[in-house]
Amino acid sequence: MTNTTSETSPKDPQGAAISDFGIDTTSQSTGEALRDYVARLRGGELGSLPALLGLVALLIVFSSLADTFLTLGNIANLLAQGASIVIIAMGLVFVLLLGEIDLSAGTASGVTASVMALHLVENGNLLGGMGDTVFIMYCAVLVLAIALAAVVKLWPAAAMAGFALLVSVIGVPANPWVEILLAICVGAAIGSVTGFLVAKVGIPSFVVTLGLFLTWSGVVLQLIGDGGTLGLRNDVLFNVANGNLSTAGSWALFAIAAGGYAALVLGRHFSRLRKGLVAQPTPMILTKVGIVVVLAAAATYALTLNRSASDFVVIAGVPYVVPLVLVLLVLGTFVLERTRYGRHVYAVGGNQEAARRAGINVAQIRMSVFVIASSASAIGAIVYSSKVGSVDPNAGGGNTLLMAVGAAVIGGVSLFGGKGRLRDAVIGGAVLATIYNGMGLLKQPAAVVYVVTGLVLLLAASIDALSRRRAASSTR
């Protein structure tokens, strides 16, 4: 029998591989790449495209209706306003990827902010600030979190809860960096309790987190006191959401972020070409990288200009929240897309039973996403508390949770699990922050803002459901 499928000699294994796998080792032309993208859109794989188009439309509408919308001061304020919600939303992406929900993320963030503020105000004496009974219960919860994390062998969570317990019992003096770590570690402890009840006890996440939503609301009220307020009088904590990089630091951030992005994308692209794998056309990749770099350069230049309304004060530089969000985005994206843990998260979210049969520790994965979500909620609480300069009994309450979940869903994360990326939360958060900021500039009442936000969220959920239905029908 004559072999007509291979045109390479046995001494050319790479060429043989290319011939054997055909389309898997063939570069696409620009036309083919565009047709493939359109086909995926028709098949229901919309991703974050609707959110991006909506964001562009909102920017056009608000810039035409409000003269101050595109001013440098408002743009910087917009970044700081949306950062806390975006960070909480990024944590919730891990939970949503499993098809679960965490209704307690908002009030859990309030607990972490309350502990942080109380530790700062009392100079590390949480026993004196909480009282004997509350302090003993607080420590008991931390010990419980350590034990539960150890049962599931989630050692990072156990270590973080242990750190929080050690700092609290010893009475480490107030220090802004200790406060930040304490808040994040308390968040990890809360996530351990939540995750264990869902993953090991088997209580539906909706029920568990609804109950904890009420519980943590009461804890915040107990720690702060009805009508009380704990001020964050510390320059480091204040600058988290209100400080800015220097001009040199801003351009250094641009060089690191834009240069790193270009190096990563181009390096991956040319690596695929060298290996003979499917790759998008080089002109498309160069165009994509060029657009990102130009936009980043323009934004950096604009933010390094003086945006102060006073001639005696200079306010310039990229806000600190920007590199914070970028670091969390890069780290979370790497974990989800480049590690075994990330592949396991998507596997469990896609088909839990199949993941279990493949040898994945499903309980550990399910518990871990709640730890990540609560830890991210703590970081979001730090940013928000820094922005307002205090912590009150309403910390983490109100529409904090709805905004965070809404940001993830609007950005393209599926409520059904298995689909979504961390950048979707950033895009969705930008949409919601733009709506709130623009409506505020137009002096619209809260009723109108809530109606518009609710309709946008409903539209995003509808698009998600319809796209999944389209994708399912296209595979039949």
**Each residue of 310-321: pLDDT tens digit?**
778 888 999 999
447 close to 431: Cβ distance less than 8 angstroms: no
Whole-number Å distance between alpha carbons of 238 and 80: 12
**4 band by pLDDT with thresholds 50, 70 and 90:** very low
How confident is the model over 155-163, as a mean pLDDT?
A: 96
Whole-number Å distance between alpha carbons of 75 and 315: 13
266 close to 335: Cβ distance less than 8 angstroms: no
The pLDDT, as a whole number, for residue 22 is: 38
The pLDDT, as a whole number, for residue 468 is: 65
How confident is the model over 6-19, as a mean pLDDT?
A: 42
The pLDDT, as a whole number, for residue 67 is: 86
**41 band by pLDDT with thresholds 50, 70 and 90:** low
List phi, psi (to 5°) of 251: -70, -30
pLDDT at 169 over 60: yes
Which of the residue ranges 4-18, 344-358, 378-392 would you say has the lowest mean pLDDT?
Answer: 4-18
Instruction: Report the share of the chain in percent with pLDDT over 70.
Output: 89
One-character DSSP codes across 98-110: TT---TTHHHHHH
**Each residue of 378-394: pLDDT tens digit?**
999 999 999 989 998 88
pLDDT at 9 over 50: no
Whole-number Å distance between alpha carbons of 197 and 215: 15
**260 band by pLDDT with thresholds 50, 70 and 90:** very high
The pLDDT, as a whole number, for residue 11 is: 46
List of domains in the chain: 70-243+319-466 (1.10.3470), 244-305 (no CATH)
Which of the residue ranges 14-23, 178-187, 410-419 would you say has the lowest mean pLDDT?
Answer: 14-23
The pLDDT, as a whole number, for residue 263 is: 92
Q: To the nearest whole number, what is the mean pLDDT of the chain?
A: 86
Question: Count of alpha carbons within 13 Å of 61, Cβ hemisphere only?
Answer: 13
Q: Quick one: which of 426, 396, 400, 402 has its CA closest to 412? A: 426
Which of the residue ranges 89-98, 293-302, 310-319, 331-340 would you say has the lowest mean pLDDT?
Answer: 310-319
Q: How many CB atoms lie within 10 A of CB 267?
A: 10
**Each residue of 48-77: pLDDT tens digit?**
778 888 888 888 988 898 888 888 888 888
**CA angle, 311 then 315 then 321, to 5°:** 165
The pLDDT, as a whole number, for residue 188 is: 97
Burial of 427 (0-12, 13-18, 19+ CB in 10 A): buried
DSSP state, 390?
E
pLDDT at 10 over 60: no
The pLDDT, as a whole number, for residue 243 is: 92
**28 band by pLDDT with thresholds 50, 70 and 90:** low
180 close to 116: Cβ distance less than 8 angstroms: yes
- Looking at per-residue pLDDT, the higher value among 22 and 352 belongs to 352
How confident is the model over 141-160, as a mean pLDDT?
A: 96
**20 band by pLDDT with thresholds 50, 70 and 90:** very low
Which of the residue ranges 24-28, 214-218, 325-329 would you say has the lowest mean pLDDT?
Answer: 24-28
Whole-number Å distance between alpha carbons of 8 and 19: 8
Q: Quick one: which of 257, 436, 329 has its CA closest to 90? A: 329
The pLDDT, as a whole number, for residue 44 is: 62
**43 band by pLDDT with thresholds 50, 70 and 90:** low
